Amino acid sequence: MNSENELFGVVPIIPTPFTEDEEIDEDALRSLIDFAIAGGIEAVCLPAYASEFYKLTDDEKLQVVRIAVEHAAGRIKIVAQSNHPSLKIAMKLAKANVEAGADVVSLAVPRIFGLPEASLKEYLSGFLKSIPNTPVLIQDFNPGGSSISVEFIKNLMDENPNFKYLKLEEPLCAPKFEAIIKATGDKVGLFEGWGGLYMLELVPIGIRGVMPGLAVADILQKVFNLRAAGYHGRAFDLFEKVMPQIFFSLQNMELFHYAEKELLIARGVLKNSIARKAAYIPDPSSIAYIKELNQRVMDVLADESWEIKPLETSLAKE
């Protein structure tokens, strides 16, 4: 059974909303937190890649976490991303996020340049030891090669009790996920990223959850619950309805920001789809196609036949 202190299910990334002059829109950010809560989500993460964290100053990164924690007021868990290629600065961000009240602190493995695992071990161990009483989620997205090894993960867990969660974003990772669960005794909760595209393959293996964008998080939570509870046909049918939108938007991270915010506009949560420059400028064909894909998601939301029965929801958490 899922513990009250654990992350479980869908943990979406909160996008950073901006005003016309590209300043953080604090009121819109609060609306996004309310939207996640209303969708039955138990935890959210920010500021991550899908939050444009790489376009925020360090002060702004802390600003969005503080706003989220304050507005959530315990209604939903806040996972605070503390990414920085410098360990010194990442630790500073992490400590500030803990002080702000974050429930979990997250960190991406530094992948700007290739580093041997010994260097990554020194970096991650130093980070974990800097906040020993706070659970940490480590994310590894490595477009240039493989993610951290199973042996590496096991050793890191053995030396750092607060290494509680791991998010990997790579295709064909089921055997690796199985190996991690076996090696760690399932003590490190595994999350799948990349928009949740591989979730149907991985839920039966025993992943703890997925970390997609916010705009389809409530739908993917239903998919996760159905799949975990053994309602496989219904899980596939619902997932297939939203998969084209997820797949198209993830072709480019900046395109994802645009598509994600446009869908949140359609859902009545945001007023604009502004991303900080440099931002993807979609061509007329892409704009029309995204609008079509987003409308198909809206059609799913309007179809009450996809509502999950209480039994299905409760069984998913056993």
Binding residues: 211
Distance CA 161, CA 172 (A): 28
Cα–Cα distance list, 306 to 39, 214, 220, 264, 275 (Å): 14, 19, 12, 20, 32
Sequence-ordered alpha helix ranges (H) in 131-204: 150-159, 174-184, 199-202
Which has the closest alpha carbon to 131: 94, 86, 181, 167? 94
Cα–Cα distance list, 107 to 5, 82, 140, 165 (Å): 19, 5, 9, 10
Give yes or no for a contact between 311 and 234, defined as CB atoms under 8 angstroms apart: no
Residue list, annotated binding site for pyruvate: 211
Whether the ω angle into residue 132 lies within 30 degrees of 0, i.e. cis, is no
H or E stretch at 318:
none
Distance CA 250, CA 252 (A): 5
Give the CB-side neighbour count of residue 298, counting CA atoms within 13 A: 14
